[in-house]
Amino acid sequence: MTTFLVIGAAGKTGRAVTRCLTSQGAVVRAAVRSPERAETAYAVGARSISVVDLATGLGLDEAVAGVDGVYHLAPNVHPDEVAMADRVAGAAARAGLSRFVFHSVLHPDDASMPHHLRKAEAEKVVRTHLPGATVLRPAAYHQNLVGPAVSGRLAVPYSLDAPFTNVDLEDVAEVAATVLTHSGHEGVTYDLAGPEVLSVRDQAAVATDVLGHRVEAVRVDVAEWAAGPGATLSPQARADLLAMFAAYDRAGLVGDPSTLRRLMGREPRTWGQALSAV
Ligand SMILES: NC(=O)c1ccc[n+]([C@@H]2O[C@H](COP(=O)([O-])OP(=O)(O)OC[C@H]3O[C@@H](n4cnc5c(N)ncnc54)[C@H](OP(=O)(O)O)[C@@H]3O)[C@@H](O)[C@H]2O)c1
């Protein structure tokens, strides 16, 4: 049986990837930061747990021993994500692994977003260790806005009319499982964008139809965001997200859905379908 190590397996993306891999019969060893997160990973089908500290690399060599491939993702807007990629890809290379998938982001070379540039740097570091690694570059997930839509309010600190091709996390996870479990994706980079161009105003209108209750789109001031949800973040994470909001305000985040469509052999899930799934 084929075993894959999923980094960050107890997080939002890692849970979706683990669930998809295990539903296809693969065995997942879940890399978690602390043993307290084990239950979360077991709940989505992980067979075993490795406690790993991405900040120091502790536990990585043991975690990669005996697996057939690694799915690596960094914690969201983490200042150390380039070094984390170096540690994980380095451990995989030392273990002689070739199947390695790195979870990047759509448009990593966009210089207006420091956390995107770190992803671009991390991609290079991964390829230095493992030239055959596969890189996935997902757009923003539908799921980021599902909870707010259900609560009736999409409040964002950028233009309500900026365009986005958000992607369904379940589709991203499906592609993640495909490229981990099948050959033919070595050394390739894939953009993963959703099938519709929608603004937050459009998303609120679709959500109102699909959910059957009014969903309003509200633009909040960035200062209000910084003093509210942003206040609990580290100064660096707050600055990264403020830069992201400014970039979203100018141009949204738009990609081409054709690669995702081709990799899945079907239409990617729409925003309405993501809402219907809750
Ligand atoms: N959200 C989007 O729309 C989107 C789109 C494209 C790309 N991405 C990228 O996807 C990646 C994952 O995002 P996410 O929202 O899934 O993140 P997440 O939910 O925060 O998951 C990250 C996981 O990493 C773990 N972690 C944090 N620090 C660690 C450490 N020092 N050692 C070991 N594990 C550690 C966390 O552990 P705990 O569970 O203990 O906290 C968590 O389980 C990010 O790099 C993000 O940029 C996101």
Q: Which residues is 137 bridged to in the sheet?
A: 191
* pLDDT at residue 123 tops 80: yes
Give me the chain's average pLDDT, please: 97
Burial class (CB in 10 A: 0-12, 13-18, 19+), 246: middle
CA–CA distance from 127 to each of 15, 54, 75, 231 (Å)? Answer: 25, 18, 20, 36
- Any domain includes 158: no
97 CA → ligand 1 middle, Å: 23
98: how many CB neighbours lie within 10 A of its CB? 14
- Any domain includes 180: yes
Q: Of all protein residues, whose CA lies closest to atom 35 belonging to ligand 1? A: 33
* pLDDT at residue 163 tops 90: yes
Tokens 């369904």 -> residue: 168
- Any domain includes 27: yes
Domain that holds residue 119: 3-139+169-192+256-268
Task: Among 6, 42, 53, 73, name the best residue to mutate to test ligand 1's pocket (greatest count of ligand atoms within 8 A of Cβ).
Answer: 73
Give the pLDDT band of residue 45 (cuts 50, 70, 90). very high
31 CA → ligand 1 middle, Å: 12
Handedness of CA 144, 251, 264, 31 (dihedral sign): negative
Q: Which two tokens stand for residue 185?
A: 């994706």
- pLDDT above 90 coverage of the chain, percent: 99
204 CA → ligand 1 middle, Å: 26
Task: Among 6, 13, 34, 236, name the best residue to mutate to test ligand 1's pocket (greatest count of ligand atoms within 8 A of Cβ).
Answer: 13
> How many domains in the chain?
1
212 CA → ligand 1 middle, Å: 32
74 CA → ligand 1 middle, Å: 5
Q: Which atom belonging to ligand 1 lies closest to the Cα atom of 104?
A: 7
Mean pLDDT of 139-144: 98
Q: Of all protein residues, whose CA lies closest to atom 40 belonging to ligand 1? A: 33
- Any domain includes 211: no
Q: Give the model's pLDDT for residue 36.
A: 96
Tens of pLDDT along 186-215?
999 999 999 999 999 999 999 999 999 999
14 CA → ligand 1 middle, Å: 8
Q: Of all protein residues, whose CA lies closest to atom 4 belonging to ligand 1? A: 140
Tens of pLDDT along 55-101?
999 999 999 999 999 999 999 999 999 999 999 999 999 999 989 99
CB 133 within 8 A of CB 127: yes
* pLDDT at residue 1 tops 80: no
What is d(CA 237, CA 77) in angstroms, rounded to the nearest whole number?
A: 6
- Any domain includes 216: no
What is d(CA 65, CA 108) in angstroms, rounded to the nearest whole number?
A: 30
* pLDDT at residue 46 tops 90: yes
Residues with CB under 6 A from ligand 1: 8, 10-14, 33-34, 37, 52-55, 73-76, 103, 105, 138, 140-141, 144
Q: Of all protein residues, whose CA lies closest to atom 44 belonging to ligand 1? A: 76
192 CA → ligand 1 middle, Å: 18
Find the CATH number of the domain harbouring 79: 3.40.50.720
Phi-psi domain of 223 (left: phi exceeds 0; alpha: psi -120 through 50; beta: other): alpha
Q: Which atom belonging to ligand 1 lies closest to the Cα atom of 166?
A: 3
Q: Of all protein residues, whose CA lies closest to atom 7 belonging to ligand 1? A: 105
- Any domain includes 68: yes
Mean pLDDT of 230-259: 97
- Any domain includes 173: yes
For residues 15-50, one letter each, b for 16 or more C-beta atoms within 10 angstroms of the residue's C-beta and e for the rest, the string is bbbbbbbbeeebbbbbbbbeeebbebbbebbbeebb
- Any domain includes 159: no
* pLDDT at residue 167 tops 90: yes
Q: Which residues is 29 bridged to in the sheet?
A: 5, 48
Mean pLDDT of 219-247: 96
76 CA → ligand 1 middle, Å: 5
What is d(CA 263, CA 251) in angstroms, rounded to the nearest whole number?
A: 27
